[in-house]
């Protein structure tokens, strides 16, 4: 019998279509043919793109020259601009803000790799350190509320013309809706139980051990109970922490990231995917109206979403997802236990 499962954090119901459960080989992953010849993100092409905002470099190499490990540049197709004021205003009953914010691209490797699974743990550590550093830096701009770190891999997941491994960063003067929903849900749970809902989820996942894919160095990866997508995986620090940018053990996170990305690559034959970091907003009003940093009720995490099925009208129009692979089965495949 199919099941309707409820996401414990935001309350969204999804259908797990148990009766026609899809296994890895049921998904046809289109392999991209065209090999990219020219790539402006490769080492040596620094002068052909905008100057760097930040980089990880050793051996005294100079900015905007070769010798880097990770580079951050302004997006070539900038969505938001950092100059100007917010100009929050109404138009009748509608509200708008000027498109103030930052839009950066994090180039994950000097070589032309495409998939994070191909990078060394050391290199992934540099990438994660860069995520944290950019967040911390942008936090200083009081107009900004949130930094969204998001990766699109392959065309089906919305990547643009440049295939060289890179991550998008958007700093926003508003909080994204999905994060707001999680904050509301997590706060409601905290007020009732006086515990972090994510910590409770981790405890239950460890106890039942039905959906865990890996536990490495204080990080846990599992397929969430009410996964929207087949083979969706979340990674969380086992110890409570609300702000991604305060992370100390990026090397541990790099290890589990490499493990999960490699397993997805193997099991699903290099699938398109998105991942996104959910972290607490920089600033938040409480019901009493004061600014406060969330410490107890929110828990940062990374959501990895392989893009194996087309998102149809149901999903977009109703927020109602249909997942043809039970997360328990997905976890078995990803652990290699099938």
CA angle, 75 then 118 then 234, to 5°: 75
Residue 173: count other Cβ atoms within 10 Å of its Cβ.
Answer: 18
Q: Does 44 bind a second copy (CB under 8 A)?
A: no
Rank residues 86 and 121 by Cβ distance to a second copy and give the closer one. Answer: 86
CA angle, 286 then 287 then 291, to 5°: 25
Q: In the range 154-173, which residues lie near a second copy by CB under 8 A?
A: 155-159, 168, 170, 172-173
Tell which one of 179, 196, 254, 261 touches a second copy (CB under 8 A).
Answer: 179
Query: Total binding residues for a second copy by CB under 8 A?
Result: 75
Q: Does 207 bind a second copy (CB under 8 A)?
A: yes
Beta strands in 140-222 (DSSP E): 146-153, 166-172, 212-216, 219-222
Contact (CB, 8 A) for 72 and 55: yes
Q: Does 96 bind a second copy (CB under 8 A)?
A: yes
Contact (CB, 8 A) for 69 and 110: yes
Q: Does 184 bind a second copy (CB under 8 A)?
A: no
**Going by DSSP bridges, is the β-strand pair 321-323/13-16 parallel, antiparallel, or unpaired?**
parallel
Tell which one of 201, 223, 253, 260 touches a second copy (CB under 8 A).
Answer: 201
Q: Find the shortest distance in angstroms from Cβ 154 to a second copy.
A: 10
Q: In the range 217-276, which residues lie near a second copy by CB under 8 A?
A: 225-226, 274-276
Cα gap 9→83, rounded to integer Å: 36
Q: Does 151 bind a second copy (CB under 8 A)?
A: yes
The 10 Å CB-count burial string (b at 16+, else e) for 261-280 is bebbbebbebbbbbbbbbbb
Q: In the range 279-338, which residues lie near a second copy by CB under 8 A?
A: 303, 305, 309-314, 316-320, 322
Q: Does 21 bind a second copy (CB under 8 A)?
A: no
- Whole-angstrom CA distances from 99 to 53, 119, 263 are 20, 34, 39
Q: Does 22 bind a second copy (CB under 8 A)?
A: no
Q: Does 13 bind a second copy (CB under 8 A)?
A: yes
Q: Does 98 bind a second copy (CB under 8 A)?
A: yes
Rank residues 160 and 336 by Cβ distance to a second copy and give the closer one. Answer: 160
Rank residues 123 and 168 by Cβ distance to a second copy and give the closer one. Answer: 168
Residue 155: count other Cβ atoms within 10 Å of its Cβ.
Answer: 14
Q: Which of the stretches 24-32, 47-55, 92-100, 125-133 binds a second copy when contact is defined by CB under 8 A? A: 92-100
Tokens of 221: 């990866």
Tell which one of 43, 65, 118, 200 touches a second copy (CB under 8 A).
Answer: 200
């Amino acid at each position: 019998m199919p099941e309707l499962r409820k996401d414990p954090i935001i309350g969204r119901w999804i259908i797990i279509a148990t009766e026609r459960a899809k296994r890895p080989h049921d998904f046809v992953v289109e392999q991209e043919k065209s090999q990219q010849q020219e790539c402006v993100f490769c080492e040596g092409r620094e002068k052909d793109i905008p100057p760097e905002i930040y980089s990880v470099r050793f051996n005294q190499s100079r900015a905007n020259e070769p010798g880097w490990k990770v580079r951050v540049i302004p997006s070539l197709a900038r969505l938001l601009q950092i100059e100007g004021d917010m100009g929050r205003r109404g138009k009748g009953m509608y509200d708008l803000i000027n498109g103030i914010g930052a839009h950066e691209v994090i180039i994950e490797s000097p070589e032309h790799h495409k998939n994070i699974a191909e990078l060394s743990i050391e290199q992934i550590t540099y990438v994660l350190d860069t995520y944290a550093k950019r967040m911390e830096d942008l936090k200083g701009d009081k107009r900004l509320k949130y930094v969204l770190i998001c990766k699109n891999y392959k065309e089906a997941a919305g990547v643009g013309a440049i295939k060289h491994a890179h991550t998008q960063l958007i700093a926003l003067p508003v909080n994204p809706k999905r994060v707001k929903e999680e904050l509301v849900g997590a706060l409601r749970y905290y007020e009732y139980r006086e515990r972090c809902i994510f910590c409770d989820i981790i405890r239950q996942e460890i106890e039942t051990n039905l959906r865990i894919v890996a536990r490495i160095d204080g990080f846990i990866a599992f397929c969430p109970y009410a996964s929207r997508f087949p083979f969706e995986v979340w990674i969380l620090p086992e110890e409570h922490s609300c702000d991604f940018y305060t992370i100390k053990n990026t090397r541990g996170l790099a290890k589990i990231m490499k493990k999960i990305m490699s397993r997805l690559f193997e099991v699903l034959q290099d699938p398109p995917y998105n991942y996104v970091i959910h972290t607490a907003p920089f600033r938040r009003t409480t019901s009493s109206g004061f600014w406060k940093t969330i410490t107890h009720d929110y828990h940062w995490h990374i959501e990895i979403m392989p893009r194996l099925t087309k998102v149809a009208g149901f999903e977009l129009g109703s927020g109602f997802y249909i997942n043809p692979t039970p997360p328990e089965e997905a976890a078995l495949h990803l652990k290699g236990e099938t």
